[in-house]
Amino acid sequence: MPQIKDIGEIGLIKRITRPPKDKAILVGIGDDAAVVQMKEGFQVLTTDCLVEGDHFRNDWFTPEQIGMKAIEINVSDVAAMGGRPKFALVSLVLPNDLQVDFFDRIYDGMWKACDRNSLEIIGGNMAHGNFIVISITLIGEIEGNNCTLRKGAQPGDSLFVSGCLGNGRAGLRAYQNNLQGFNKTKNKYLEPKARLAYALKIAPYAHAMIDISDGLASEIRHICNQSHLGANIFLDQIPINDEVREIARILGENEYDYALYGGEDFELLYAVSEENFQHVKGIFIGKIINSPEIKLIYNDSEEEIKRTGYDHFSNDF
């Protein structure tokens, strides 16, 4: 089975190159840099990476799933800004003895996620290392006034999420504890899908939006800190599906901890004022308040949320 070090640059480039579909791509893979034709307007740019051992394990993820996830987590960031992704650049660190088939399948996964989200890989770079690192930069465009920042929330806004939370953490815990079954949750962990179409519908009507990559508590804190406001979160409104509740029960853990402090759900959290309720869908979980505190309310008790997400250190900035 050939290894990466046997193939050489030209061989690798041939494997990953596709003829560009987007006519704006004037120079794609294979020169010092890519060149695209830009229209006047707002451009959105983000970068995020997957590190072997930290973000994925080769015995849980197929190479295709690693590739898909690398793209989807970046699409999720573009979507959370109200943007539409267009171009990707891929920076890879790969072990010398990696099987070429594994490399091909990572790219198959990346292209599959690109097709799903209508974007194209236009360039990249490869280097040696003892473990796999996949850094993706995504460039997209924002139409009109659709840019949804973290800082735009207003007092009285309602907070919504786009779907059930806790899947990412529950899937991870199921793998870590060798639980059988729970395939729906495991699959959501292995194959997160960015909420791009959903975000583009919400963006014109949301005061603030963020994707939930590091747990709900962490993302609410970002919106509140940057909007200089607080929030009331109603614990029993947080949507959690039955499999996640069952995984938590078996492991003697708390499903709300998965949702609040887990990571990798890639749902959206957004703040909408009452006059725009008719235009948005979503699951109501709380309110923005004119106070510095973020409070978790359950029955008639409340407590301040002081913990944040899964991991301070693995974050966009």
Q: Check binding of 30 to its own copies (CB under 8 A).
A: yes
Q: Name which of 255 and 282 has its Cβ closer to its own copies.
A: 282
Q: Name which of 143 and 246 has its Cβ closer to its own copies.
A: 143
Q: How far is the CB of 189 from its own copies (least distance, A)?
A: 18
State the pairing for strand pair 133-142/84-94.
antiparallel
HSE (side-chain half, CA atoms, 13 Å) at 233: 26
Q: How far is the CB of 148 from its own copies (least distance, A)?
A: 9
Q: Name which of 38 and 250 has its Cβ closer to its own copies.
A: 38
Q: How far is the CB of 259 from its own copies (least distance, A)?
A: 19
Asked whether 286 and 269 are in contact (CB, 8 A), the reply is no
Query: Which member of 72, 77, 120, 255 binds its own copies (CB under 8 A)?
Result: 77
Asked whether 273 and 207 are in contact (CB, 8 A), the reply is yes
Q: In angstroms, rounded to a whole number, what is the distance separating the alpha carbons of residues 285 and 230?
A: 14
Q: How far is the CB of 184 from its own copies (least distance, A)?
A: 27
Q: In angstroms, rounded to a whole number, what is the distance separating the alpha carbons of residues 101 and 4?
A: 9
The span of 39-47, 56-64, 284-292, 293-301 binding its own copies (CB under 8 A) equals 39-47
Q: Check binding of 275 to its own copies (CB under 8 A).
A: no
- What is the helix (H) or strand (E) element at residue 126, kind and residue range? strand 120-128
Q: In angstroms, rounded to a whole number, what is the distance separating the alpha carbons of residues 283 and 202?
A: 13
C-alpha closest to that of 105 among 48, 67, 143, 60: 67
Q: Check binding of 250 to its own copies (CB under 8 A).
A: no
Q: How far is the CB of 211 from its own copies (least distance, A)?
A: 6
Q: Quick check: helix, strand or coil at residue 300?
A: coil
List the x/- string, 158-197, binding to its own copies by CB under 8 A.
Answer: ----------------------------------------
Query: Which member of 196, 210, 248, 271 binds its own copies (CB under 8 A)?
Result: 210
Q: In angstroms, rounded to a whole number, what is the distance separating the alpha carbons of residues 191 and 63?
A: 11
The span of 42-50, 170-178, 241-249, 277-285 binding its own copies (CB under 8 A) equals 42-50
Q: Check binding of 46 to its own copies (CB under 8 A).
A: yes
Q: Check binding of 27 to its own copies (CB under 8 A).
A: yes
Q: What does the block give as tokens for 66? A: 């690693």
Q: How far is the CB of 278 from its own copies (least distance, A)?
A: 26
φ, ψ (nearest 5 deg) of residue 217: -60, -40
Q: Check binding of 313 to its own copies (CB under 8 A).
A: yes
Query: Which member of 21, 59, 130, 278 binds its own copies (CB under 8 A)?
Result: 130
Q: Check binding of 45 to its own copies (CB under 8 A).
A: yes
The span of 7-15, 162-170, 175-183, 184-192 binding its own copies (CB under 8 A) equals 7-15
Residue bearing tokens 């770079």: 125
By the 10 Å C-beta count (0-12 exposed, 13-18 middle, 19+ buried), 27 is classed as: middle
What are the start-end ranges of the H helices in 212-281?
Answer: 216-227, 242-251, 255-261
State the pairing for strand pair 120-128/268-272.
unpaired
Q: Check binding of 306 to its own copies (CB under 8 A).
A: no
φ, ψ (nearest 5 deg) of residue 6: -85, -15
Query: Which member of 108, 112, 149, 239 binds its own copies (CB under 8 A)?
Result: 149
Q: How far is the CB of 124 from its own copies (least distance, A)?
A: 6
